[in-house]
Amino acid sequence: MLKESDILNEKNNKILRQISKEVSFPMESSDIKLMDEMINHLRLSQDEEYAKKEGIRAGMGLAAVQLGVLKRYFVISYKTEEGNFIEYKVVNPKIISHSEEQIYVEEGEGCLSVTEDVEGIIPRYARITVEYQNEQGEKITKRVREEIAVAFQHEIDHLNGIIYIDKIDKKDPYKNIDKMRAI
């Protein structure tokens, strides 16, 4: 079971700035197990009662590098309004196309590796097509939009050593807000 303390903080961990390495198949059983633990952690983090009791912050995505594993995989667990979860286990992802339209998260993007609130917007594509593999190595091509597209882009950035705060314009944190749509 993952703990909040297992997640690296960008303030004191240089590994978050490194580029993760491609995963070869078959995947190591330890990586498959870690992906399951990551999904479980995200699910529990979205249960308000549990999160409050355990002192964990809500999250919908988590990359292996955030746990100190420099491999190109991440998971997403998104709780719908109906209370169901949409989940992805993503290995070796590549964005193969994207919309021209850009969006930003109106209440601000967050990250389990960034502990303080940071003002500003992060331009993201409204829709992307991603090619990746599942844990068995099967190729998947998926078109995602809105919140899921933001989560994919956020996690892919992690695999490339980029943290969302790097994308905020330091001089003008709300730069070009009028050219994007809020979600």
- Over residues 115-152, the pLDDT tens digits come to 888 999 999 999 999 999 999 999 999 999 999 999 99
Contact between 38 and 2 under an 8 Å Cβ cutoff? The reply is yes
Alpha-carbon distance 124 to 179, whole Å?
A: 12
Supply the residues annotated as catalytic.
Answer: 155
The reply to whether CATH 3.90.45.10 applies to domain 4-182 is yes
Question: How far is residue 139 CA from its own chain's centroid?
Answer: 20
Beta strands at 181-182 and 102-104: parallel, antiparallel or unpaired: parallel
Paired tokens of 62: 């988590």
The total number of residues shown for the chain amounts to 183
pTM summary value:
0.96
Position 55 scores a pLDDT of 86
List the chain domain ranges: 4-182
Comparing C-alpha atoms, which of 43, 55, 111, 32 is closest to residue 83?
Answer: 43
Q: Give the bridge partners for 139, in sequence order.
A: 133
Residue 1 pLDDT > 90:
no
Residue 180 pLDDT > 90:
yes
SS3 per-residue string spanning 108-152: CCCCCCCCCCCCCCCCEECEEEEEEECCCCCEEEEEEEHHHHHHH
